[in-house]
Amino acid sequence: MNDKVKPQHLERKAVVYVRQSSAYQVAHNEESRRLQYAMRTRLEELGWREIEIIDDDLGCSARGVIVRTGFDRMVADVCLGKVGAVATRELSRFARNNREWQQLMEVCRMVDTLLIDVDVVYSPRLSNDRLLLGLKGSFNEYELDLLRQRSLEARYEKARRGELVVSAPVGFLKTEDQRIELHPDQRIQERIRLVFHKFLELGSVRQTLMWFLQEDLQLPANAQDGTVTWKRPRYSTVKHLLTNPIYGGAYAFGRTEHGTRLEGGQPRKRIRRRPREEWISLIPRHHEGYISWEQFEQIQVAISVNNNRADRPGAAKRGPALLAGLLRCGRCGRKVTVTYTGGGPRYLRYCCVRGYLDVGEPKCISLGGVPVDQALSREVLRVVQPTAVAAAIEAHQHVDQQREAAVQALEHDLQAAQYAARRAQKQFDAADPENRLVADELERRWNDALQRVRDVEARLDEQRQAQSQTAAATLDEFANLAEELTRVWNDPQSDARLKKRIVRTLIKEVIVDRDDERHEVKLVIHWQGGVHTELRVPCRRRGKANCTSPDIIEAVRGLARIGTDREIAGYLNRNDLRTGRGNRFTQERVTSLRTRHGIACYDPEQRQQSGWLTLTEAAAFLGVSTRTLRIAAEQQKIPGQHPLANGPWIFIRADLQTDEARKFVEYAHRPNRRTPAVPNPQQKHLGFSGT
């Protein structure tokens, strides 16, 4: 019997504390665990009869980060005075950090509980033993830190050479010689590449996710057993694929940092993403990736710009506000917000109210958004039109590949589903028919696999049918693209997000301010190349009603020469034009418009004297067909006016009596001419009415 073991110690129970640091040690280091359980024999030799073994913490580290229920229960029993001694094979099993070690030693000193290892019995009430226990606790913590530091330094040095491959994400395989290779499954490769292609097309992580959900396409994921499973995509999954450098062919290590913080008195692990300059290793072009490193960098810039912060425009939204996120107040420097009042996009306004909302400052400026968007659209079209044809031809070269993206993905899904069905059939055929418990389950799995094949085939047929109904554009259709770009841009059916992405590609920021003396809005456009352009847009004065577009007024001025107000209203409505208040035109509204702007009403006698003719009348006057005359007017061989795209032509009799007009008529009537006045019947045209 040890002289430190007193009767008061033997009256209480003894505790044997058993712990191993990891699950690997629990599974493989069985001898170490047997030696720890053998401490029960040592306690029996010291005189204890009531012995409790606490092994709840097998597989838990003693660094103090993980909550150890067994250790906490042991300390609670010691505090209650129920324990005479706590024993373990070596004292480092109790704690590897001074906080928990000092807590245990102080509690044992207060209640007179002994600490026992394989060699020595310690009494915390003795100063020499307490000093020795304190030194051993410090050595235990230092030893763990030293081992961890050596291990980390070796890992970091290996990572700096790009040779440390812990695990491979989905789409890659880790080879035996510590290299990274693409997964051999072409379906997995195609689906991951499709994520990057759709982001480059749509420009947003959220829109990429919505496209996959709309097409009902799944993404691969690594299971815990190392196999690849297919799951419905989530936002985190898509963003992880787009932001992981390994998919750009780069080796990266140390992108995250693990720490500890206290929450509710308990330590909790914390993971922080480091900025790129703090990464331990980054080696571009380390292995074959799904995209190039340049494309990966381009994607990171796009994702960063999409974050809606004070210094960034944010991702393009669905709203019609063309400059949302790009406008900055010229007075306070804050970003201008977008508001919609009344009946929809016609009542779009840009307001600088962040100072008012945040700190109660007076509101800066507020201005109508539609005139500003229209002025900036004209400026953007002026810049874009010279390169519109080249860009359209380049896009046409990739249009077939974009159309085939969803079809190819479904074809690969169909191949995988057919393979699963054949495998289920083989399992069913190999089963004993008399064992119905097994045969019924295998038959159910086979039926589910066949149903999956039918579902994928149906979706593939729908996709192919939809693709066949959309005719591919030809290069000949791009001949007049530069002229049609304005019409397409102003079409209400045009995608607002696409127009916003075009504007964000060209423009970095727009500084806006109001000039109240001149009743103008001042816009300073900061283009991406560093050039600045100033625009001034007239703004509506207070109390002044919305005005009809000047283009409509000029069209009415020309149409009033050949038609009545009722006919003019029909022409305007046919072109889907509206008044300044957004109403459709009627005879009364056309009359009011003419009166306001001093346009004379239609007079048949005045028309006869001035010689104004419609297309039909002018063709009869020249003795040619209306089609021949319209083509000549479009080619500017015969002078003519066309106020509305879907409206009548206007000619003057005097212009039809010139020498050029006579030569054209003679040429049109010439027999056996090589170049007919009437174009090739195969040529496509809009076929507007000749009236």
For residues 638 and 655, what is the distance between their CA atoms, to the nearest angstrom? Answer: 8
Q: Is residue 162 part of a domain?
A: no
Whether 673 has a pLDDT exceeding 80, the answer reads: no
Q: Of 581, 610, 639, which closes a domain?
A: 610
Give the residue with greater pLDDT, 35 vs 473. Answer: 35
| pLDDT at residue number 633 | 86
Are 390 and 456 within one domain?
A: yes
Are 666 and 577 within one domain?
A: no
Question: What residues make up the domain containing 142?
Answer: 7-156
Q: Mind listing the pLDDT tens digit for each residue in 634-665?
A: 888 888 888 888 889 999 888 888 888 888 88
656: CATH: 1.10.1660
Q: Mind listing the pLDDT tens digit for each residue in 403-438?
A: 566 777 778 788 888 888 888 888 888 888 777 777
Q: Mean per-residue pLDDT for 624-635?
A: 87
Q: Mind listing the pLDDT tens digit for each residue in 48-79?
A: 989 999 988 888 887 766 778 888 889 898 89
Q: What is the dihedral of CA 378, 384, 389, 393, to 10 degrees?
A: -120
Residue 485 banded pLDDT, cuts 50, 70, 90: low
Are 36 and 96 within one domain?
A: yes
For residues 261 and 64, what is the distance between their CA atoms, to the nearest angstrom? Answer: 11
For residues 309 and 556, what is the distance between their CA atoms, to the nearest angstrom? Answer: 46
Give the residue with greater pLDDT, 221 vs 432. Answer: 221
Whether 675 has a pLDDT exceeding 90, the answer reads: no
| pLDDT at residue number 195 | 92
Residue 133 banded pLDDT, cuts 50, 70, 90: confident
Q: Is residue 1 part of a domain?
A: no
- Report the candidate in 311, 351, 364 with the shortest Cα–Cα distance to residue 508: 311
| pLDDT at residue number 311 | 58
Are 291 and 367 within one domain?
A: no
Query: What number of CA atoms fall less than 13 Å from residue 480's CA on the CB side?
Result: 8
| pLDDT at residue number 14 | 92
Which of 284-298, 335-349, 371-385 is least confident? Answer: 335-349
For residues 94 and 569, what is the distance between their CA atoms, to the nearest angstrom? Answer: 93
In DSSP notation, 68-135 reads -HHHHHHHHHHHTT-EEEEE-SSGGGT-SSHHHHHHHHHHHHHHT-EEE-SS-EE-TTSHHHHHHHHH
| pLDDT at residue number 443 | 83
293: CATH: 3.90.1750.20
For residues 155 and 135, what is the distance between their CA atoms, to the nearest angstrom? Answer: 30
Number of domains in the chain: 5
- Identify the bridge partners of residue 15 per DSSP, sorted by sequence position: 52, 86
| pLDDT at residue number 682 | 58
| pLDDT at residue number 309 | 60
Are 212 and 276 within one domain?
A: yes
Q: Mind listing the pLDDT tens digit for each residue in 326-359?
A: 888 888 888 888 887 665 555 788 888 888 777 7
Q: Mind listing the pLDDT tens digit for each residue in 184-209?
A: 888 899 999 999 998 988 888 888 99
CB contact at 8 A, 270 and 257:
no
For residues 218 and 231, what is the distance between their CA atoms, to the nearest angstrom? Answer: 5
Q: Is residue 264 part of a domain?
A: yes
Are 592 and 685 within one domain?
A: no
Q: Is residue 163 part of a domain?
A: no
Q: Is residue 14 part of a domain?
A: yes
Q: Which of 360-374, 490-504, 671-685 has the highest mean pLDDT?
A: 360-374
For residues 241 and 233, what is the distance between their CA atoms, to the nearest angstrom? Answer: 11
Q: Mind listing the pLDDT tens digit for each residue in 235-259?
A: 999 999 999 999 999 999 988 887 7
Q: Of 610, 635, 662, which closes a domain?
A: 610
For 311, 331, 365, 379, 601, the CA distances from 524, given in Å and listed in that order, are 17, 13, 15, 12, 42
104: CATH: 3.40.50.1390
In DSSP notation, 505-572 reads HHEEEEEEEEETTTTEEEEEEEETTS-EEEEEEE-PPTTPPPPPPHHHHHHHHHHTTTS-HHHHHHHH
Q: Is residue 199 part of a domain?
A: yes
User: Collapsing DSSP states into helix, strand and coil, what is residue 397?
Assistant: helix
What DSSP element (H or E) covers 270?
strand 266-273
For helices 186-202 and 293-306, angle between their N-to-C axes, nearest 10 degrees: 50
Mean predicted lDDT score pLDDT of the chain: 81
Residue 16 banded pLDDT, cuts 50, 70, 90: very high
Please state, for a pLDDT cut of 90, what percent of the chain lies above it: 10
Q: Of 156, 190, 215, which closes a domain?
A: 156
Are 473 and 570 within one domain?
A: no
Q: Mean per-residue pLDDT for 204-231?
A: 88
Kindly report the backbone phi and psi dihedral angles of residue 314, in degrees, each rounded to the nearest multiple of 5, phi listed first.
85, 170
Residue 691 banded pLDDT, cuts 50, 70, 90: very low
Which amino acid is present at 501?
R
Q: Please list, in sequence order, all residues whose beta carbon lies within 8 angstroms of the beta carbon of residue 570, skipping any fewer than 6 positions away.
A: none
- Report the candidate in 107, 74, 85, 90 with the shortest Cα–Cα distance to residue 36: 90
CB count within 10 Å of CB 421 equals 20
Residue 391 banded pLDDT, cuts 50, 70, 90: low
CB count within 10 Å of CB 429 equals 10
Q: Is residue 2 part of a domain?
A: no
Are 605 and 621 within one domain?
A: no
- Report the candidate in 609, 640, 605 with the shortest Cα–Cα distance to residue 622: 640
Q: Mean per-residue pLDDT for 81-101?
A: 85
Are 498 and 415 within one domain?
A: yes
Q: Is residue 430 part of a domain?
A: yes
Are 402 and 480 within one domain?
A: yes
Are 467 and 481 within one domain?
A: yes
Are 340 and 239 within one domain?
A: no
Residue 479 banded pLDDT, cuts 50, 70, 90: low
Q: Which residues are annotated as catalytic?
A: 21
For 349, 537, 543, 589, 594, the CA distances from 581, given in Å and listed in that order, are 16, 19, 14, 11, 16
Angle at 222 between CA 219 and CA 225, to 5 degrees: 145
